[in-house]
Chains A and B, each alone.
Chain A
Amino acid sequence: MNSKNMLVKLLSVMIVFSVLITACGQPVATQAPATEAPAITEAPAATEAPAATEAPAGKIYDGVTIDILTFVGPQVAEPLQRRGPDFTELTGATVNIITVPNSELYQKVLTDAVSGTNAYDGYLFAPAWITDFAPAGLVEDLTPYVEADTALEWDDVAPFFRDFNSYAGKVYSIPLDGDMHMVYYRIDSLEEAGLEPPKTWDDYLAVAKALNGKDLNGDGEGDYGSCISKAPAQQSYWWIWSIAAPYIQSQGTSQGPFFNTTDMTPLVNNDAFKRALEVYKETGLYGPPDETNQGVGDSRGLFLAGRCALTMDWGDIGPLAIDPANSKVIDKTGAISNPGSTEVLDWETGKLVACDATTCPYAVDGVNHAPFASFGGWAGAVNAAVDQKQKDATYAFFSYMAQPAQSNADVVVGSTGYNPFRISQFENLQPWIDAGFSQAAAEQYLNGIKESFDSPNMAADLRIPKSHEYIQVELDRILSEYIAGDLTTDEAAQQLYDSWETITEEAGRDAQLEFYKGTLGQ
Chain B
Amino acid sequence: MGWALSLLIELVTMNTQPEEPQPSRFHSVISSAADRLAGSIFILPTVLALLFLSIFPLLASLYVSLAKFDIAPGGYKFTFVGLNNYRKLFTGSEGTHFLGKFASNTPLTWIVFGVVVIALAFFLARYLLNAKVSISGLIGRLLLAIGIGLLTWMLVHTLWNDGRLGTASITLVYVFVGIFFQYILGLGLALLTVQNLPGRRFFRVIFLLPMMITPVGVAYMFRMLTDTSKGPFTPIWQGLGLIDFSWVNNAWGARTAILIGDIWQWTPFMFIVLVAALESQPVEPIEAATVDGANSWQIFQHITWPAILPVSMTLILIRLIEAFKIVDLPNVMTNGGPGTATQSLTYHAYINWRALNIGSSAAVAYMLLFLVTFFAMIFVNLIRQRTVETL
Contact = CB atoms under 8 A, between A and B. Distances in A.
Contact of A110 (B4, B71, B73, B101): B71
B337 A231 contact: yes
A292 B93 contact: no
A290 interface: yes
A136 interface: yes
A107 B76 contact: no
A424 B71 CA distance: 39
Interface string B222-259: 00000111000000000000011110110100000000
Contacts of A498: 93
A502 B337 CA distance: 24
A136 B229 contact: no
Contacts of A115: 75-76
A132 interface: yes
Contacts of A293: 246, 248, 334-335, 337-338
Contacts of A114: 71, 75-76
A9 interface: yes
Nearest to B14: A1
Contacts, number: 111
Interface string A274-292: 0000000000000011111
A480 B341 CA distance: 10
A347 interface: no
Contacts of A74: none
A41 interface: no
Interface string A1-29: 10000000100110010000000000000
A119 interface: no
A469 interface: yes
Given A132-B71, A290-B228, A469-B355, A9 B11 contact: yes
A234 B75 contact: no
Nearest to B69: A114
Interface string B1-43: 1001001101100100000000000000000000000000000
B340 interface: yes
Contact of B248 (A290, A472, A481): A290
A57 B210 CA distance: 53
B336 interface: yes
Contacts of B75: 114-116
B246 A480 contact: no
B354 A292 contact: no
B382 to A, nearest CB: 36
A232 interface: yes
Interface in B48-74: 71-74
How extensive is the interface on chain A, given as a class? 35 or more
Contact of A233 (B7, B243, B335, B353): B335
Interface string B292-333: 000000000000000000000000000000000000000000
A486 B335 contact: no
A483 interface: yes
A162 interface: no
B164 interface: yes
B82 interface: no
A137 B74 contact: yes
Interface string B65-96: 00000011111100000000000000001000
A499 interface: yes
B148 to A, nearest CB: 27
A231 B335 contact: yes
B72 A136 contact: yes
B337 A484 contact: yes
A288 B229 contact: yes
Contact of B339 (A12, A473, A480): A480
Interface string A421-465: 000000000000000000000000000000000000000000000
B339 A486 contact: yes
A453 B246 CA distance: 38
Contacts of A132: 71
A291 to B, nearest CB: 8
B249 A232 contact: no
Interface in A470-522: 472-473, 477, 480-481, 483-486, 498-499, 502
A289 B246 CA distance: 5
Which residue, of B101, B164, B229, B338, has the highest number of chain A Cβ atoms within 10 A? B338
A107 B335 CA distance: 17
Contacts of A170: none
Contacts of B246: 288-293
Contact of B340 (A481, A499, A502): A481
Contacts of B4: 12-13, 16
B71 A473 contact: no
A103 interface: yes
B356 interface: yes
A292 B338 contact: yes
A480 B1 CA distance: 59
A490 to B, nearest CB: 15
Given A290-B227, A292-B249, A468-B355, A481 B244 contact: no
Contacts of B243: 289
B73 A137 contact: yes
B279 to A, nearest CB: 41
Interface in A93-121: 103-104, 106-107, 110, 114-116
Interface string B330-363: 0000111111110000000001011111000000
A484 B335 contact: no
A89 to B, nearest CB: 37
Nearest to B92: A502
Contacts of A1: 14
A412 to B, nearest CB: 30
Interface of B: 1, 4, 7-8, 10-11, 14, 71-76, 93, 97, 101, 164, 227-229, 243-246, 248-249, 251, 334-341, 351, 353-357
Given A107-B356, A289-B229, 10 more contacts: A16-B8, A132-B71, A232-B337, A292-B248, A293-B246, A293-B334, A293-B335, A473-B357, A486-B164, A502-B93
26 contacts: A13-B4, A16-B1, A16-B7, A16-B8, A103-B354, A104-B354, A107-B356, A114-B75, A136-B71, A137-B74, A234-B335, A289-B244, A289-B249, A290-B246, A292-B249, A292-B338, A293-B246, A293-B334, A293-B335, A477-B340, A481-B340, A483-B338, A484-B251, A484-B337, A486-B101, A486-B340
Please provide the 10 A-B residue pairs with the shortest distance between their CB atoms, ordered closest to farther: A484-B339, A484-B338, A290-B246, A289-B246, A293-B248, A481-B339, A473-B355, A114-B76, A16-B4, A486-B339
